[in-house]
Amino acid sequence: MMEVKKLKYFVLVTIMPALSIVVIFSYAFIHVQKDIDILSSKIEALTIIKEVERTIFDIQKVRGLSCLEEPSEKSTKNLQLFRENVSKNIISLREKLILIKDRSLKKEFSEFLYVIEDNFFENVSFEKLTEIIYKLMIFSHRISYSFELPLESKLNDYILTNNIVYLLPEIIEHNGQIRAIASSVNDMEFTENQKKIVTTQMDKIEEKLNKLEQNLLQFYKSSKHDKIREDYKKMTQAQKNIIDYTKDELLEKSAFIESYEAYELITKNIEVIIELYNSNLDSLNKSLIEKRRLSTYILFGGLMSMLFVIYINILFYYKNRKFIDKIEELTITDSMTNLYNRRYFDQVFENCLNVQKRTEQTFIFIILDIDFFKMYNDTYGHQAGDRAIKMVAKKLKNSLKRAGDMAFRLGGEEFGIICVGMSETEAFDFANRIRESIENEKIEHKESQVSSYVTVSMGLIVVKPDSMKSTSDIYRYADEALYKAKNNGRNRVFIF
């Protein structure tokens, strides 16, 4: 039997920890591999979205140049170049359709690309081009949801996704609206309606810039990507420059240097934003490489840790056999009452209070003892006293209905109760029910000065979430409340 017992302890202190480490590190490795798959999927999604946005940017340029009333040779040449770029982008997007898993989305997007290709080289109106742009933006959103990009739990990746899929394309489109109107003016002056449209678009840009700056502040708190930080600053400054130019040169002076020059001034931030997309993709690629490297380290570290733990525990087992035998004998319950003992109370009191601070619930502590217990022992004997203690313990245990509530024997005839989530009235009624149930057992106590039966006095403190105190203060206040309960006639509950 002794050998079986030794084997049991050997398994307990050596094999079980090793198995636990295997399980933990296996789970961690699987989790890292899952992160790698997610990141790979995100890179695929961002590759598609990048191409969609590139197409949108070129269509916006086509729209702006098409609005020129008197196009120059240079602008005509650029218009043809951007049309060709759009055609190339559409071919590239078709090749990337295979990455989209959602069949319905893939089919709709493919059909829409054919619609663009069939109609794009005709004389398409400003409104038609704007409609194409907005539909492409919607497809970009749908692609991001298809790959679950907006559901990213990590703050930095969520911020980057939000900027790439939503904020930056919208800023570009608002700029495109201003650019198109600026390009269409040939009488050197804005109409009131054009001013209204430009002002509206400018307000929207400022609104998006504010959101972008908020994202940027959050991103800077933990980001180490200097390239992204630099690109964000460049883009933000470029957009602010356009707002200042629009206010100072276009709206207030109501005159243009030249339509094509206005077009170029407003367009200059496009390449900056495209560069921002590239830096975001680079950061995700770096993150993917780091995750793969981490998975290797985890696997190696898990193996070495497992061997180390096995060695340490074998050493511990052979050199500390006596301590292991003593650990077996330790218990957290009181042998007479089966309530938690004082040792366990001292361990969990602080932890329970910390839990309540985090969950912002009220914390209730009750301390009680049996009235005139020494007289009871002297009159009826210690065996009867033990029975009285067991009766009180049973009543306390039966009164606790919730998983987080605990009762303790703190020593002799003194007990404690920890509860959570009650108001002061509810806690007072709860304590009184316990007190009445004990007296209703009608255990004779003829030496008691407050009742013919065994009774208890109780001190109660209810600590609200916004006035959390230390455990020593809570215990002292409850003890003071118990003292007042005794001084005011016993067999009662007193709230601190």
Q: Are residues 271 and 136 in the same domain?
A: yes
Report percent pLDDT > 90 for the chain. Answer: 32
Supply the pTM of this predicted model: 0.52
| Distance between CA atoms of residues 39 and 352, nearest Å | 39
User: What is the pairing mode between strands 363-370 and 406-411?
Assistant: unpaired
Using CA atoms, how far apart are residues 232 and 238, in angstroms rounded to an integer?
10
Query: Is the same domain home to 241 and 360?
Result: no
Burial class (CB in 10 A: 0-12, 13-18, 19+), 458: buried
Please state, in angstroms and as integers, the Cα–Cα distance from residue 50 to each residue in 59, 251, 371, 408, following that order: 14, 33, 79, 64
Highest mean pLDDT: which range of 17-21, 186-190, 349-353: 349-353
**Residue 312 placed within a domain:** no
217 and 362 together in one domain: no
In whole angstroms, what is the distance from residue 352 CA to residue 281 CA? Answer: 46
- 281 lies in the same domain as 385: no
What pLDDT is recorded for position 215? 81
pLDDT digits (tens, 9 = 90+) for 129-145: 889 999 999 999 999 88
CB 215 within 8 A of CB 167: yes
Residue 432 vs residues 208, 368, 399, 492, 494: alpha-carbon distances, Å = 60, 12, 11, 8, 10
What is the rounded CA–CA span in Å between residue 460 and residue 493? Answer: 7
Q: What is the structure's pLDDT at 189?
A: 67
Examine the domain organization and report whether 246 and 361 are in the same domain: no
Distance, CA of 201 to CA of 191 (rounded, Å): 15
Tell me which of 413, 426, 439, 447 is the catalytic residue: 413
From the number of C-beta atoms within 10 Å of its C-beta (0-12, 13-18, 19+), residue 11 rates as: exposed
Judge whether 288 lies within some domain.
yes
Q: Is residue 315 domain-resident?
A: no
**With 50 as the cut, is the pLDDT of residue 2 above it?**
no
| pLDDT attached to residue 15 | 64
- Return phi, psi of residue 282, to 5°: -60, -40
Quick check: 158 and 152 in contact, CB under 8 A? yes
Is the pLDDT at 28 greater than 60, yes or no?
A: yes
Is the residue at 208 inside a domain? yes
- Residue 388 included in any domain: yes
Nearest to 119 by CA among 108, 131, 106, 107: 131
pLDDT recorded at residue 326: 57
365 within 8 A of 431, measured Cβ to Cβ:
no
User: Per-residue pLDDT for 61 more than 80?
Assistant: yes
287 lies in the same domain as 353: no
Evaluate whether residue 23 is within a structural domain. yes
Domain boundary among 294, 314, 334: 294
> Looking at 264, 294, 324, which one is the last position of a domain?
294
Query: Which is nearest to 353 in space by CA: 461, 429, 448?
Result: 461
Q: How many domains, the chain? A: 2
- Give 43: exposed, middle or buried? Use CB within 10 Å, 0-12, 13-18, 19+: middle
Residue 311 lies in a domain: no
If asked whether residues 429 and 347 sit together in one domain, one would say yes
Average pLDDT over residues 45-55: 86
pLDDT of residue 202: 87
The Cβ of residue 343 has, within 10 Å, a number of other Cβ atoms equal to 13
Place of tokens 């790439």: 164
With beta carbons less than 8 A apart as the criterion, state whether 170 and 140 touch: no
Same domain? For 264 and 350 the reply is: no
In a domain, 332, yes or no: no
Whether 124 contacts 82, CB under 8 Å: no
Please report the pLDDT score of residue 12 as a whole number.
59
What's the whole-number average pLDDT of the chain? Answer: 82
Tokens 């009766």 correspond to 391
Condensed to tens digits (0 to 9), the pLDDT of residues 246-287 reads 887 777 765 545 677 777 777 777 677 777 777 877 776 677
Per-residue confidence (pLDDT) for residue 268, from 0 to 100: 77
Question: Do 60 and 182 lie in a common domain?
Answer: yes
CATH of the domain at 10: 1.20.1630
- pLDDT at residue 448 is higher than 70: yes
Sign of the Cα torsion 252, 257, 259, 260 reads: negative
Confidence of residue 329 (pLDDT cuts 50, 70, 90): very low
Q: pLDDT value at position 455?
A: 96
Rounded CA gap, 348 and 405, in Å? 12
Q: Are residues 196 and 252 in the same domain?
A: yes
Q: What is the pLDDT of residue 285?
A: 67
pLDDT of residue 36: 67
Range of the domain at 383: 342-495
Residue 374 has which token pair?
A: 């020494």
The sign of the dihedral angle between the CA atoms of 396, 397, 399, 402 is positive
Among candidate residues 263, 294, 325, the one where a domain is terminated: 294
Q: Residue 394 above 90 pLDDT?
A: yes
Let me know if 413 is a catalytic residue.
yes
Q: Tell me which amino acid residue 496 is.
A: F
Q: In this structure, are 288 and 353 located in the same domain?
A: no
| Domain harbouring 482, CATH code | 3.30.70.270
114-173 per-position pLDDT tens digit: 888 877 666 778 888 889 999 999 999 999 888 887 766 677 777 877 877 888 888 888
Which residue type, as a one-letter code, is found at position 142?
R
Is it the case that residue 416 has pLDDT exceeding 70? yes
Query: Which pLDDT band holds residue 3 (cuts at 50, 70, 90)?
Result: very low
DSSP string across 171-194: HHHHHHHHHHHHHH--SSS--HHH
Report residue 198's pLDDT band, with 50, 70 and 90 as the boundaries.
Answer: confident
335 or 449: which carries more pLDDT confidence? 449
Are both 352 and 285 inside the same structural domain?
no
pLDDT for 190 equals 72
The terminus-to-terminus CA distance of the chain in angstroms comes to 55
